[in-house]
Amino acid sequence: MRTQKRQYSRSHANRGQLFENLIDMTNNQYRNNNFADIRKVPSPVKILKVTGNKVDGKLESATWVDYSGIYRGQAIIFDAKETKQKRFPLNNLTDDQYRLLRSWHYMGAKAFLLVCFRIEGKNEPEIYYLKFEQLETAWTAQNNGGAKSIPLQFFRDHCTRIKSGIYTVHYLEAVGGASC
């Protein structure tokens, strides 16, 4: 496995926030309809100093993924990633996140990525469901000298595109053929 040291700048602080807000809205709809219970996992924060009711802290590196929960009696775990490129850079996922998805996948959970492409000049983003098996193939290839990203065309040809409908971002339709 490759080791990865990450540094985040303020410009990346809200990257993907709109996409995550849409997923949060969807998860609330799922819960309200007793369809699934999937929750956002808070980002880990290291507390540096507490003064009265003011807390100073910093975000720690991502070791967990964005969402986990239950759907049709099965554990679900996934991360939401967004890119403005016509490819998904695999280094958008940390080694720890990949290992977590891998572990849960091999323990029987539905593990996957939701990848949102916001291409300049297009009004609507393209959102895709990337199965763990597809991620694993790309991850292994990159670690053996292969491509460091997955092109948008791969998603168009081999992944389920997630659309809005009765639910804001109805990703469970791709996960388990959900119809509501």
* 56 marked ligand binding residue: no
| pLDDT tens by residue, the chain, 180 residues | 444 443 433 344 455 588 999 999 999 999 999 999 999 988 777 888 888 888 888 777 667 899 999 999 999 999 999 999 999 999 999 999 999 999 999 999 999 999 999 988 788 899 999 999 999 999 999 999 999 999 999 999 999 999 888 888 999 999 985 444
Alpha-carbon gap, residue 79 to 39, rounded angstroms: 11
Per-residue confidence (pLDDT) for residue 16, from 0 to 100? 59
* 79 marked ligand binding residue: yes
* 7 marked ligand binding residue: no
Alpha-carbon gap, residue 107 to 131, rounded angstroms: 15
Is pTM beyond 0.95? Reply is: no
Burial class (CB in 10 A: 0-12, 13-18, 19+), 67: buried
Give the CATH number of domain 17-176.
3.40.1350.10
